[in-house]
Amino acid sequence: MHNLHGNKKLTIAIGRDVPCGRASEGEDRREREEAYLAVRKRAEFYARLWGAPLVTLTDQRPVRSDELIVEFSQEGVALLADDMRSQGDFERILDRLRPGRWEHEMLVKATRFRKKEKTLDFRRQREDTAGSPCALKKALGMAEADAREAQSRRLSVLDATAGMGEDALILAAAGFEVELAEQDPIIHLLLEDTITRAREGEETYLRQLVSRMHLVEGNSIPWMRAAHPGCWDLIYLDPMFPERRKSALVKKKFQLLHYLECPAADEQELLQAAIGARPRKIVIKRPLKGPDLAGQKPSYRIPGKAIRYDVIVLA
């Protein structure tokens, strides 16, 4: 991996909260040492894998201005730079996704199949269940009635540009079985850690949601090109858009990701690969006033205050 990201040097760090040295009174020193060794071992692995230096963050050794830090700690994996810290946290948006609430999400409305889009292809279902290369052949649902219907129809969705996975979590709450593809190895690691923490956490509902999310690392374009036609009933695209890089609309937690992600230079390839995979529809997240992805006019749009969803119907 190239270790320069913008004007930052990629550095692997053991976080400040990782216990080391003598245990304080009342603490199990062995457990503290085991926790430290586990975190250190993982940090060392990625430092070797990515050819990056390994440091331990302390008050005397803080994050430097020229560093992009991937921090390993007992709290998980985080990205640090410019006095900011980014770490996935699905619990932060969980209240929006409780039953009776997720139906109001714009993304859910965009991915809902309209009446004229609800033509079943039973032949394709038989092909899928008879050994299709599709990775997911489960359920997709929009609104309560759609969710019940989706389970019987064995629908599936590919989030081809996963990022930090929050949109995929919304889709999982709505009944989707979601396959997520993320090509940047650092973002993939952050998302993998977020899913793992959610899967091992105490929140039962969140564990149910992430059980429907299946993460893979790599560029989704070759996978879509190689997929059996109709492998996914829906493909979701959210490529980074150049004009959003310095926009005030970009939330702090996403600003650090701009050191890793580049604006989509292959948007034509991305969209053509999605169309070639022959889903029933493609949903594309765009800035409200941004141009159509690859100049492709959608079948219809669902606008919001800052973003819109373009929907291309293929079925």
Poorest-confidence range of 111-125, 154-168, 286-300? 111-125
Q: Report residue 134's pLDDT band, with 50, 70 and 90 as the boundaries.
A: very low
* CA dist 74 → 29, 85, 200, 251 (Å): 15, 15, 13, 25
User: In the predicted model, is pLDDT for residue 45 greater than 60?
Assistant: yes
Q: Where are the domains of the chain?
A: 4-86, 91-313
pLDDT (0 to 100) of residue 249: 44
Which CATH architecture group holds 91-313? 3-Layer(aba) Sandwich (3.40)
pLDDT bin (cut points 50, 70, 90) of residue 133 is very low
Nearest to 280, CA basis, from 103, 119, 109, 108: 119
Task: Write out the two tokens for 110.
Answer: 């965009």
Question: What is the reported pLDDT for 110?
Answer: 96
Alpha-carbon distances of 315 from 13, 156, 238, 300, rounded to whole Å: 49, 14, 21, 14
Percent of the chain at pLDDT exceeding 90: 67
Side chain identity, residue 76: G
Over residues 237-260, the pLDDT tens digits come to 999 876 444 454 456 657 788 888
Encoded tokens for 39:
């975190």
> What's the pLDDT band for 268 if we cut at 50, 70, 90?
very high
pLDDT at 138 over 50: no
Sequence letter at residue 63? V
Residue 55's pLDDT is 97
Q: What is the pLDDT of residue 235?
A: 98
Q: Is the pLDDT of residue 224 over 80?
A: yes
DSSP string, 56-122: E--SSS---TTEEEEEEETTEEEEEETTEEE---GGGGGGGGSTTTGGG-HHHHHHSPPGGG----H
Residue 130 has pLDDT above 50, yes or no: no
- Could you read off the pLDDT of 59-89 as tens digits, one per residue? 999 999 999 999 999 999 999 999 999 999 9
Q: Give buried/exposed letters for 200-212 (b at 16+ CB in 10 A, else e).
A: eeeeeebeebbeb
The band of 50, judged by pLDDT with boundaries at 50, 70 and 90, is: very high
Res 7: pLDDT: 85
pLDDT band of residue 1 (cuts 50, 70, 90) is low
Interior CA angle at 287 toward 285 and 290, to 5°?
115
The mean pLDDT of the chain is 84
pLDDT at 116: 66
- Residue 313: pLDDT band (50, 70, 90) is very high
